[in-house]
Amino acid sequence: MRQVLPRIFAALLFLWSFVLEGSAQKSPESRGMLRSYFDNVLGASADSSAAKWINYPTLAYSPETSWEIGVSSLYVYSAKRDLHNRLSEIKSFAFVTLENQYGFWLDHALYTDQNKWFLYGRARYQSFPLFYYGIGRDSPAEVQSVIDGDYLLIRERVLRETLPSLYVGLEFDYQQLSRIQFVSAAPDFIPPSLGSEGSRNLGVGLGVLYDNIHNALNPREGLYSEWAFLRYTTGFASDFDFTTFIVDNRIYRSLSENTVLATQVYGQFTTGEAPFNMLSLMGGESLMRGYYLGRYRDRNVLGAQIEYRILPFSFSERLGASVFMATGQVFGDDRSLSWQHFLPTGGAGLRFLIFPDKDIYTRLDFAFTQEGNGVYFFIGEAF
């Protein structure tokens, strides 16, 4: 499992929260340059409809990459500066490591005026090692091989509102894995039968989404329900022939002015001949926190989680917290869904209100599993 040193900006943010509250009465002239910068970026704006933009450095360490140095950015706005429009976001992350690895991520959730169109997607390009544990829920806890290669992902949803909060449209998913090398392999390691030499796959399909949430980075009340169908066909920019179905349902309830109960049920189901890198994965920074993304992989994954959020504490204007629990499993043709094979995970986290005008928090989560733990620092909630 990848162990990551929390990014240096996390410490700066939480230190800033105490500085801000402890010296709020001081005049602007008495503040240093760094303090003034954070005040301009993180403080309340005179115009709440104005866009917000922040850049910050990150620093992490893991055995397979050595030290990782990166820059993250977040840009949030409302279309036409109309606060009745839902909050749009653009997030990016670029990094290099001391092992000459690199990558660039770009995520977006964009609403047009009156929320008529919704563009939701992500892009990834990275030359970066991946841990491969094998396929199935019985895969060993030890890494079977480290996969070196170039990875490209482009997934986009173009959805149109047909009824209030109901969006329908097309979905596209392109993934390419090339220049693969299996290194540091276990003595008895056998490469996966499909995709071990790399592949490119383009999926096209239909998406249906019900979403009445105003702020996707910090949902407090509402329903998110996505149903997606993607077809990958040989001869149409794909090396393999398979179909993927995705179901993602989330409910958010405000229990009081500053507390939220969030629940999610997620499933991804695959039929046909999918390469190993296109199978359903379990783990990561969202669902099943604490497990490495790809620790378990198979044709299908089913998981659920619940999280209780305090945003913010009653004694603070910026600091909050959360506790969460999740369970999930992967299964396939010869490993059917079984109640006794659901794996548990859980943890707690701290929150810091980074953009008061937009009600957006950073999160520092600590997750614990029966195989180890994980630390996550991001802007915006996990789901």
| pLDDT tens per residue across span 207-253 | 999 999 999 999 999 999 999 999 999 988 999 999 999 999 999 99
Q: Give the pLDDT score at 7.
A: 47
Residue 330: inside a domain: yes
Residue 100: what pLDDT? Answer: 86
Q: What pLDDT is recorded for position 286? A: 94
pLDDT of residue 235: 85
216: in domain: yes
Residue 194 pLDDT exceeds 60:
yes
How far is it, in rounded angstroms, from Cα 116 to Cα 46?
28
Would residue 312 count as lying in a domain? Answer: yes
Is 58 a residue whose pLDDT tops 70? yes
Mean predicted lDDT score pLDDT of the chain: 90
CATH number of the domain residue 112 falls in: 2.40.160.50
How confident is the model over 356-360, as a mean pLDDT? 93
Beta-carbon count within 10 A of 230 CB: 21
If one compares 28 and 383, the residue with the highest pLDDT of the two is 383
pLDDT in tens, 286-295: 999 999 999 9
Q: Is residue 178 over pLDDT 90?
A: yes
Residue 20 included in any domain: yes
DSSP conformation letters of 34-82: HHHHHHHHHSPPS-TTS-EEEEEEEEEEETTTEEEEEEEEEEEEEGGG-
Task: State residue 236 phi and psi, 5-degree precision.
Answer: -125, 65
H or E element, residue 305: strand 300-310
Residue 336 lies in a domain: yes
- When divided into structural domains, the chain yields a total of 1
* Residue 101 covered by a domain: yes
Q: Is residue 2 part of a domain?
A: no
pTM for the model stands at: 0.88
- The parent domain of residue 83 ranges over 8-379
Residue 1 lies in a domain: no
pLDDT in tens, 242-263: 999 999 999 999 999 999 999 9
pLDDT at 333: 85
**20 or 100, which is more confident:** 100
Local structure of 114: helix, strand or coil: helix
pLDDT at site 24: 46
Helices marked H in 32-138 — which ranges? 33-42
Asked if residue 27 has pLDDT above 90, the reply is: no
